């Protein structure tokens, strides 16, 4: 069960990615059953996210294709900026939502 705000945000982005793929399939003329269920699931998921965070996510999504960027080897893979090592310990806990000082994207530590 997802409980932390960052986990919920990542799940939301995964869902948005899936919805986009469904749209692409539909644009090719295929049927896409289940799209409504996905949209409903997105709505439910969004309700669990703090309004302030959700608004940040939506704002970033408009600006970039994806609002959340993975971090590997202390590097934001959105803008490739090197992040301070001190952030990593906090970031891996998933307890707080940390944004990149370079591009502003929400960060998710892969390793």
Partner 1 sequence: MERGELALYFHDELFLPEMKATNKEEALEELVDLFVKNHIIRNKEIVLEMLRKREALGSTGIGKGVAIPHGRTLAAPDVMIAFGRSTAGIEYDSMDGQPVHLFFMVLAPPHDRSNKYLPLLGKLVEFISEDQVRQQLLEAKDFQEVIDLIVGE
Q: Site residues (CB under 8 A) for partner 1?
A: 1-2, 7, 10-11, 13-15, 17-18, 21-22, 32-35, 37-38, 41, 65-66, 68, 70, 72, 92, 94, 108-111
Q: Least distance (Å) from partner 1 to the CB of residue 69?
A: 8
Q: Which is nearer to partner 1, 1 or 85 (CB)?
A: 1
* Helix H or strand E encompassing 63: helix 51-63
Q: Which is nearer to partner 1, 60 or 108 (CB)?
A: 108
DSSP code for 81: P
Report which of 70, 82, 57 is spatially closest to residue 107, judged by C-alpha positions.
Answer: 70
Which three-class secondary structure state does DSSP give residue 75?
A: strand
């Amino acid at each position: 069960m997802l409980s932390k705000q960052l986990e919920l945000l990542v799940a939301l982005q995964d869902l948005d990615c899936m919805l986009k793929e469904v749209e692409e399939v539909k644009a090719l003329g295929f049927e896409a059953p289940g799209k409504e269920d996905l949209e409903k699931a997105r709505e439910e998921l969004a309700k669990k996210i703090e309004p302030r965070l959700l608004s940040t996510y939506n704002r970033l999504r408009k600006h970039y294709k994806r609002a959340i960027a993975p971090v590997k080897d202390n590097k934001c893979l959105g803008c490739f900026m090197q992040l301070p090592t001190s952030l990593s310990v906090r970031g891996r806990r998933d307890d707080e939502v940390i944004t990149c000082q370079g591009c502003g994207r929400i960060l998710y530590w892969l390793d």
